Amino acid sequence: MDYLKNTTKKISWLLVINLAVSLVLAFLPQGLDSRLFDIVPAILVVYVMLPFVSGVILTLIQNRNRSYEYLPGLLIGSCLNNAIVVAIVSLGESSGHTQLYQHFFDIYDFISFYLPLVVVSLIGGLIGLVIRGTSEQFKNYSNSKIIVAFSKIFGSIFVGIGALGGLISLVVFFVLFFNPSSSWLNIIMADFRFIEILGVVLYYLLLVSTLLIFLIPLAFLANWGWKLFLEKKFINKKLALRLRIYFYISLVIFSLVSTYITSEFNAKTAEMKADIRESHIDIKDFKNIYISPYVEFDDVIIRQGDNFDITVKGSEYDRIGLNFDKVGDTLNITRSELETYFNTDTWTVENREILFRAGSKRLTVEITMPDLEKIENEGANIELENLEVANLEIKLTHRFNNIKGNVKVADTLKLDVDGGIINLTGSAKNLVINSGDCWIEMDKLIAEEATINAVNTSRLNVYVTDNMTVELGVNSGIVNHHDELY
């Protein structure tokens, strides 16, 4: 009876741990598509690592004499643990895809996810039996040279892991303690400083609780290694009980503060989105404009005027991470590389591993300048308002970039377009186009002469009155609307 009660208690604690881990992974911003620390896929943790480790632990927590006596506890624990994991993960995935039709409960989907997890747990249980059998051999032949050698080796390994892990934890703790604005915290929150969301008291309370959550298990691991290496322990039963209590208290504090972080993050984001404002950037004497990929949804309006002026319109939240600086005669418009951005070269969303990641920002940037020579756009939507220039070069680098407007170019208009859409009206003496994977609508821009090299899937509509030299790829097409009219 005592054995059954003790085993049930241990299995219950394992159920709680699985429940906590499943909740965290299922309700990450990207759900099971997330990558923990940008290395381990969350789906791998849920469907392989968690059930496997649970199976190993379900065997190790039992204290029986024969192999078959471990099976009832292993089977019951595997069934209960994985039922909880599947239920929580299904709930998280369903809540994260509310726009899709969801069945209230589908027994076939449940079984298709549930049975493989049970099998993985049973495999882990068999590995646990091997570990348990090996440890029993260590006990029965504790004085043999081989067993002593293995004890020393594994003992030193466990002590080393505990000591090194503890040292790293303390270094990270002190860095974040004295520098709450450390860039290390960008993997958790990109838009705000962590301490701004939590406040000073809760920030340091979370920091201490997190440190204890890491240090206490490492201390027990080092104590186990010390026992194997020197047959001594530096943690007695009384101290071990206190450490367990501190560990559970730290887990409760961490869970409560984590819940508070989510609500405060959303509240602060909503507050800053409601704060619409207009600001001016004092940068002058530039002739070129560069726009980075992370300026993805912003609208940039460029107009001609006698004086330089940069006006930014939008919410305070959308202003986060947007930067202006001048390098030589080029105005650089950039956003923090922590911004959410859909990279059309790799067809992936970047920075999706950040727990409280940056949301999509959209501002209107109005630029007034006397003259413009070059635009290199990797992100924004650009509109040109009635520009009259001597020469103009436009470079687009991504598939979903676009530029439109009216220009009058006295000499050469050069377009270097690796992707995106160009829709210009006006005139130019010479038109030079190098294009690939783009759509160019310029049948209302009158050019006298043109040199065009179109590859991949370029589609071009132009209006060229005189000579036009063209090189077309297999999948590209061009229409000269001047020829269509005459």
Residue 239 to residue 245: CA distance in whole angstroms: 10
> What secondary structure letter does DSSP report for 354?
-
Determine the pLDDT at residue 102: 46
Which of 222-236, 297-311, 354-368 is most confident? 297-311
| Entry field: residues in the chain | 486
Dump pLDDT digits (tens) for 205-247.
999 999 999 999 999 888 888 887 777 777 888 888 999 999 9
Nearest to 374 by CA among 396, 395, 398: 395
Determine the pLDDT at residue 427: 94
> What secondary structure letter does DSSP report for 360?
P
Determine the pLDDT at residue 433: 93
Residues 6+ apart with CB under 8 A from 203: 180, 194, 195
Looking at the structure, tell me whether residues 283 and 255 fall in a common domain.
Answer: no
Q: Which amino acid would we find at residue 224?
A: W
Looking at the structure, tell me whether residues 2 and 120 fall in a common domain.
Answer: yes
Q: Choose one of 96, 125, 140: the last residue of a domain.
A: 140
What share of the chain in percent tops pLDDT 90?
A: 38
Domain residue limits at 39: 1-140
CA distances from 231 to 148, 155, 228, 234 (A): 11, 10, 5, 10
Looking at the structure, tell me whether residues 257 and 122 fall in a common domain.
Answer: no
Looking at the structure, tell me whether residues 178 and 125 fall in a common domain.
Answer: no
DSSP letter string over 103-170? -S--HHHHHHHHHHHHHHHHHHHHHHHHHHHHHHHHHHTTTSHHHHHHHHHHHHHHHHHHHHHHHHHH
Looking at the structure, tell me whether residues 133 and 160 fall in a common domain.
Answer: no
Parallel, antiparallel or unpaired: strands 381-389 and 402-417 = parallel
Looking at the structure, tell me whether residues 176 and 221 fall in a common domain.
Answer: yes
Dump pLDDT digits (tens) for 58-80.
787 777 767 667 777 778 878 88
Looking at the structure, tell me whether residues 258 and 370 fall in a common domain.
Answer: no
Residue 454 to residue 52: CA distance in whole angstroms: 55
Q: Choose one of 140, 157, 178: the last residue of a domain.
A: 140
Nearest to 415 by CA among 465, 450, 448, 385: 450
The arithmetic mean of pLDDT across residues 344-368, rounded, is 82
The arithmetic mean of pLDDT across residues 345-353, rounded, is 75
Least confident of 92-106, 127-141, 398-412: 92-106
CATH number, residue 330 = 2.160.20.120
Q: Does the pLDDT of residue 157 top 90, yes or no? A: no
Determine the pLDDT at residue 86: 78
Q: Does the pLDDT of residue 104 top 60, yes or no? A: no
Parallel, antiparallel or unpaired: strands 322-327 and 330-335 = antiparallel
DSSP letter string over 81-112? HHHHHHHHHHHHHHHHTTTS---S--HHHHHH
The arithmetic mean of pLDDT across residues 145-172, rounded, is 84
Residue 415 to residue 432: CA distance in whole angstroms: 6
pLDDT, averaged across the chain: 83
Question: And the tokens for 306?
Answer: 């006698």
Determine the pLDDT at residue 485: 59
What is the tally of structural domains in the chain?
Answer: 3
Residues 6+ apart with CB under 8 A from 417: 394, 395, 396, 433, 434, 435, 436, 438, 440, 458
What share of the chain in percent tops pLDDT 70?
A: 87
Determine the pLDDT at residue 99: 41
Alpha-carbon torsion 443, 304, 383, 412, what sign? positive
Looking at the structure, tell me whether residues 19 and 111 fall in a common domain.
Answer: yes
Looking at the structure, tell me whether residues 156 and 251 fall in a common domain.
Answer: yes
Q: Does the pLDDT of residue 135 top 80, yes or no? A: no
Q: Which residue has the higher pLDDT, 102 or 149?
A: 149
Determine the pLDDT at residue 313: 95
Q: Where are the beta strands (DSSP E) in 292-372?
A: 299-304, 309-315, 322-327, 330-335, 341-343, 348-350, 364-369
Looking at the structure, tell me whether residues 376 and 303 fall in a common domain.
Answer: yes
The arithmetic mean of pLDDT across residues 461-473, rounded, is 90
Dump pLDDT digits (tens) for 383-434.
999 999 999 999 998 877 889 999 999 999 999 998 888 999 999 999 999 9
Q: Which residue has the higher pLDDT, 146 or 100?
A: 146
Q: Choose one of 274, 309, 326: the last residue of a domain.
A: 274
Looking at the structure, tell me whether residues 203 and 191 fall in a common domain.
Answer: yes
Dump pLDDT digits (tens) for 257-271.
888 888 888 899 999
The arithmetic mean of pLDDT across residues 143-153, rounded, is 70
CA distances from 174 to 91, 152, 169, 183, 208 (A): 38, 33, 9, 14, 10
Q: Which helix (H) or strand (E) holds 449?
A: strand 438-455
Q: What is residue 416's three-state secondary structure? A: strand
Looking at the structure, tell me whether residues 135 and 66 fall in a common domain.
Answer: yes
CA distances from 403 to 292, 368, 458 (A): 15, 17, 16
